[in-house]
A and B are shown apart, each in its own frame.
Chain A
Amino acid sequence: MNILVMERVSFSYNERPFIRSLDFCTGEAEIVALLGPNGSGKSTILKLAAGILRPETGRIMLWNKDIFSYRGKDRAKLISYLPQILDFGLPFTVKELVSMGLYPYDIAPGLTVDDALAMVGLGDRADTLIAELSGGERRRAFIAMTLLQGAGLLLLDEPMANLDIKYQLELIRLLKGLRAEKEISMVMALHDINMVHHFDRVCVVKNGSVVAFGRPLEVVTEELLREVYEVEIKIYPQENGTFLFGV
């Protein structure tokens, strides 16, 4: 079953068409990458899917119901969105931040703040200020918040941006683990094409439209990369199913 369906969705910024008649869907316990060059519309698609932006035409269905028909708190229990830049103006501790994931609930669900922190490997950092965390830890703290929120669909805008390769891999392992354990679906805007083999499906976007959508090995071809990124990229298939790209 598809838990998120976007049908013929269009959106403009300041009357300039940006997303054009876009179709997109995500199934249960699936990790999807949104791939495309800067300004292709990845972030906007995620914000539309989160209900932050309202499409001009088309509709967005969340668990078979229009996303705008949900009350805010009810929507928050189903879908969670993390922007690319995790900013905060005031000195929250990790625990204070993570516990905000319980805000949509009147009665706290089973998972506790400590459980969520343990799941992302920050069990011993509860009283640390977020500002004192490294980029990767900070990302994990926000993910712990979304875990507490209990949403079945996680929308992440470039979660691996500004992370070293070690933390990128740590994060993708964590997310895959959560998918396996809690059957959470995830849609991520992705910059690094070397990471695509970690995803179940890849949606390639250019100029606000979907160019290709399918399994990474089938979708990501030299021809497609040339068309989308406008540079020559070579693909060297590896034995373990991964790619290497070179120019």
Chain B
Amino acid sequence: MRKRVLFLVISSVVIFSGSVLIGPEVINPFSLGGTDRTIIISIRIPRVVTSMLMGAALGASGAVLQGFLRNPLADPYILGLSGGAALMATTGILLGSTVFGLFTIPLFAFIGSITTGLLVGFMAYRRGGLWPERLLLAGVGLGFLFSAVLMLLMSVSSDEGLRRAIHWIFGDLSMSDWSLIPYGVVIIILGLSLSLWRAKALNALILGDEIAHSLGFSPFKERFILFVSVCLMTAASVSLGGIVGFIGLLMPHIVRFVSGADSRVVIPLSALAGASMLALADTIGRTVVAPMELPSGIITAIIGAPYFLYLLRKQEILGR
């Protein structure tokens, strides 16, 4: 197992360096000229860092969510957090709002996402706590509502607005720069620390509320903390670069193959694997049809969807 974990770490480092150097123009790291240097520092590194932050947040949230919802098919977006973000971001894009300058759309997305989290939490609350089934259903229900309103907005919008909105929704990293990264880092590290701090409780919750209680944990309290951590990480990820599917669903499953199901290992490794996967997908997206760019959400879905279907067929992977 240690070897496989080491392999995962090394491949992430390789992907990071590769992603920074590969682009429409491959840059030789040993002869950095003035322009190359600028490209690397102010365009490529922030872009790769952003994709890795997003991927890490999604991978970790997926691992946490699949655990406390006790559902191997759960994905961070199932709680409707992405739908809320997309609705708000699209509204911002279509209105052409620039009230907060460069931060406008990410901030809109973050507010949409966190508000959805509060709504889902409110709907899922009953008799003293959050219930997994209610969280799922509330998330799916709100998600449907938001996507309907989103479609409505898009169907009455101008072509240019529509194109930009679609680009955002599928995960657009072409605008990444250093400005958002510090906020992303803080929020994602906060969410990640919360979930790692409660990783033992998460393991117990996977066995059911009653056994978690028997092991000394308060299921409602633990689920609440974990829910907050997922909301923070997912909202931050969506705000950084839109919606990127399948990372949150897939990475935790792949990691569990490698490392077993202990959340104390699965959460950090899913973050690492998610970061690598999205950096890789984004590098593919901006190179295969250069100078055009494919949104990374499309790449992860093209790789992810078939794998997802394969998982669905191979049920023993899901532990039953």
Contact = CB atoms under 8 A, between A and B. Distances in A.
Interface of A: 47, 50-52, 71-77, 79-83, 86-93, 96-97, 100-101, 103-104, 129-131, 142, 146, 149
A89 to B, nearest CB: 4
- Closest 10 interchain pairs by CB? A76-B216, A89-B70, A91-B319, A72-B216, A73-B216, A81-B214, A104-B216, A90-B261, A92-B261, A83-B210
A100 B317 contact: no
Contact of B210 (A47, A103, A131): A47
Contacts of A50: 210, 213-214
Interface of A is mostly: mixed
Interface of B: 66-67, 69-72, 200, 203-204, 206-211, 213-218, 256, 260-262, 316-320
A242 to B, nearest CB: 32
Given A52-B213, A72-B216, A81-B214, A87 B208 contact: yes
Contact of B215 (A83, A100, A130): A100
A76 B256 contact: no
Contacts, number: 100
14 contacts: A52-B209, A52-B213, A72-B216, A74-B216, A76-B214, A83-B208, A88-B319, A89-B69, A91-B317, A100-B203, A103-B200, A103-B215, A104-B215, A149-B215
A178 B184 CA distance: 53
Contacts of B217: 72, 103
A103 to B, nearest CB: 5
A51 B213 contact: yes
Nearest to A54: B128
A101 B204 CA distance: 10
Contacts of A52: 209-210, 213-214
Which of A72, A73, A82: most chain B Cβ within 10 A? A72
B317 to A, nearest CB: 7
B73 to A, nearest CB: 10
